[in-house]
Amino acid sequence: MLLDAELSQLVLVDYQTRLMPAIFEAPLVLANAVLLAQVAKLMQVPVWGTEENPSRLGENPPELRALCQRTLAKMQFSAVEEGLGEWLRPPVKAPAGNARSLPKHLQKPSSTPVARNSIVIAGCEAHVCLLQTSLHLLEDGFDVWVVTDACSSSTERLRDAAFDRLAGAGADLVTTEMVAFEWLRSAEHPQFKPVLALLKQGHRRA
């Protein structure tokens, strides 16, 4: 199954200023997170952030925070435990009056938003907050896509153990470029050139 931009949301977990110095390959991981968020904005994919105990670990970097629609401050390791799932589900509008009893040609078209059940997620630490949030999202019926080159932990071994567990639980493991090109689907997409320019910038930084 390919990712569909119209059915996707992006969640960026805990790239916090006092945490990142302890993270394996932190500069590359953060750069890919920013790149993901920039591509998501071009593709009109909602972007959400989380921060674990920000009074102790600091906020996410300003360039990342600015790309998020909202950022959830949390104390639980799983952001789902603190309401992330409610952010990801579209609000259900109650039908007004007895509109459903009207003939079809007089009924207003449904304004119920499309469910975006494909959650593209990345963050730190992969074996703690990213893992627990992703497992809870899977339990709640979301499709979860973990962006491996935008995730890390304090050691490579801990990061890879998280990937093994997530794959076994049913998450799809992808990369930043896989996400970008699956959201685009075609070189004829109107955002193809801007997205390609961002990816080339990322290659120059790597």
pLDDT at 205: 67
pLDDT at 201: 86
Average pLDDT of each block of 10 consecutive residues along the chain (206 residues)?
A: 96 98 97 98 98 98 97 98 94 58 55 81 98 98 98 98 98 98 97 95 73
Determine the 3-state secondary structure of 154 from DSSP: coil
Is residue 125 within 8 Å of residue 149, measured between CB atoms?
no
Q: Alpha-carbon distance 196 to 187, whole Å?
A: 10
pLDDT at 95: 56
- The residue extents of the domains of the chain are 5-89+114-205
pLDDT at 90: 76
pLDDT at 115: 86
- Show Cβ contacts of residue 81 under 8 Å, excluding neighbours closer than 6 positions: 74, 136
CATH of 5-89+114-205, picked from 1.10.10.10, 2.40.50.100, 3.40.50.850, 3.60.20.10, is 3.40.50.850
Strand pairing of 47-52 and 70-74? Answer: parallel
